[in-house]
Each structure stands twice: as C-alpha cells, then as structure tokens.
C-alpha cells in the first residue's frame, strides 16, 4: 500500500485534511461570500450573531462584519503559516544537508548556530524581530521562519548522517558522482520524508505565532487577522464575548486540523518504514 493510501486509511489524516480543505475554501471564496474590504464599516455596531440576515455572525464595536473578518482572517493565517513554514523548511533542510554531508568543521560551526537559535524561544525571537524591523506581512513571515528553522535543520542532519553511510551512497561515490549530485539525487529524497512530517507542526506553530503577534498589535494592521479580532473583543468580553470566541474557535479548529493532518502523515510514513516525528 502506498503512503497516499495509508494516509487516507487513518481517521486523523482524513479529518485533518477535511478541516484544512474547509479552511482553504473559506479563504479562497472570501471575496465571493463577502465582497469588499473586510475592515470597512458595514452596519450598526455590536449586532449579535444571527440577529440580522445580512450579518450572520454579527458586527464588532465599529460595525465591521465578523463573518468577513473570519473569512479573510483564514486567508491571512494560511498565507502566513504556509509561507513561514516553507521558508523555515527550505532554510533548515539546506543547513542540515550541508552540516550532515560536509561533516567536520562545517558541521560543528553550523550546529552551533542551530544551538544558538534553539536557545531563544521562537515567539520571543519573532517578537523582537518584528518590534525592531517593523510591521508588515513579509517581516512577520521572516520572523516566524527564523524561530522555526532549527528543528528541521537538526532532523535533516540526523537523517543525512545515517543515509550517507548506506551502500548506494558509497556506490555513487565510486562511480564518480559529484558530491552535490549525490546530496541532491541520492541523499535528499530519502532524508526528506521525516522532515515533511515535521512541517505540519511548524505550520501550526506559525499560525499561532502570527495570531499572538496580531493580538499584541504587531501584525499587519491593513489586513484582517484572527489575532486582531480576538484583541478587538477584549474590551467588551462580558457584553459581546462572541467577538473573541468566534475567531478563537476558528484558530483552535485550524490548529486541530493541522495536528490531525500531521498525525495521519506520520502514521502513513511509519507504515512505509519511515520513522515519523
């Protein structure tokens, strides 16, 4: 049975994928379901959910549509989470490949850099970076990636150290393949699957970090985010708790979906003889 079939044979993988597909569709169809600027004033302030058909989830203190913010916030979470995870994975895999394949002084130097980044909590690093550089979506993505690349680097290095001793790698050296060609064609494809299983966890962490930065006012103020929506509802938490509960629930469901997807992927890789993380 292929990894693809194993993935769909796990309830975690199917449930996680279903939740992520719903989230993806919500983000893609946001302009269709709720056209216009989600930050515009659309109606009376503090309309309760289901009190008016035009605003199914109500409005906030400024009269902005909560449903519109929720849909466009899904787009923001996906874009930031995937972009940050991709950046962290690319950087981590490159550093891990270089360290594991080169060995010696290069390995020691790169691993000390990895250790330095792992000492600092990822959120504090992102917070300091955004506070210093400025607030924008690319800066937030880069800040989250800088706090997330060390784990993929260390895992990739461990995989490379094990794989480079295999017979097929030695055979490639004997026939005169260039070290870079060996790394790309022989080592990387076999080292990548366990690292890909880790990517789902990085996406979940990136989504939570982006929400936390937005909650603290360090997200992009020109786009709708779940973190800023939760922060907006703090001052009226007793009288209009839905303003924080709805985006908070969306954030929890998203992270749950990513976690279940990761569990399904890990089981699929384990069933095919690849050690999952």
Do residues 250 and 22 lie in contact, with contact meaning Cβ atoms separated by under 8 Å? no
DSSP assignment string, 107-175: HHHHHHHHHHHHHS-HHHHHHHHHHHH---HHHHHHHHHHTTSHHHHHHHHHHHHHHTTSHHHHHHHHT
List the domain boundaries for the chain. 3-271
What CA–CA distances, in Å, run from 172 to 134, 159, 182, 184?
A: 48, 18, 7, 12
Model pLDDT, residue 275: 39
* Strand partners of residue 52: 55
The residue count for the chain: 277
Model pLDDT, residue 274: 44
Predicted TM-score (pTM) of the model is 0.85
CATH class held by domain 3-271: mainly alpha
pLDDT tens digits, residue range 110-153?
999 999 998 888 889 899 999 888 888 899 999 999 989 999 99
| Three-state SS at 177 | coil
Q: Which residues of the chain have pLDDT under 50?
A: 274-277
Question: CA–CA separation, 176 vs 93, rounded Å?
Answer: 25
Model pLDDT, residue 4: 66
Model pLDDT, residue 276: 36
Model pLDDT, residue 1: 52
Model pLDDT, residue 186: 79
Model pLDDT, residue 271: 63
pLDDT tens digits, residue range 205-236?
999 999 999 999 888 888 899 999 999 898 88
């Amino acid at each position: 049975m292929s990894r693809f079939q194993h993935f769909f044979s796990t309830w975690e993988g199917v449930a996680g994928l279903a939740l992520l597909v719903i989230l993806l569709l919500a983000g893609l169809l946001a302009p269709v379901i709720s056209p216009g600027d989600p930050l515009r004033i659309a109606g009376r302030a503090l309309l309760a959910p289901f009190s008016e058909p035009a605003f199914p989830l109500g409005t906030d203190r400024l009269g902005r549509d909560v449903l519109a913010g929720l849909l466009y916030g899904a787009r923001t979470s996906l874009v930031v989470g995937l972009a940050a995870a991709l950046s962290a994975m690319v950087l981590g895999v490159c550093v891990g490949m270089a360290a594991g394949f080169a060995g010696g002084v290069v390995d020691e130097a790169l691993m000390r850099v990895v250790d330095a980044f792992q000492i600092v909590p990822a959120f504090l690093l992102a917070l300091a970076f955004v506070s210093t550089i400025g607030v924008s979506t690319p800066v937030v993505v880069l800040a989250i990636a800088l706090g997330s690349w060390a784990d993929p680097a260390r895992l990739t290095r461990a995989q490379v150290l094990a794989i480079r001793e295999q017979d097929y790698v030695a055979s490639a050296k004997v026939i005169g393949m260039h070290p870079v060609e060996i790394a790309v064609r022989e080592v990387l494809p076999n080292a990548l699957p366990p690292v890909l299983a880790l990517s789902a966890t990085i996406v979940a962490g990136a989504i939570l970090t982006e929400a936390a930065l937005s909650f603290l006012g360090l997200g992009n103020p020109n786009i709708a985010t779940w973190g800023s929506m939760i922060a907006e509802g703090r001052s009226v938490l007793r009288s209009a708790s839905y303003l924080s509960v709805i985006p908070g629930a969306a954030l929890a469901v998203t992270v749950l979906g990513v976690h279940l997807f990761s569990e399904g992927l890990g089981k699929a890789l384990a069933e095919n003889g690849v050690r999952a993380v």
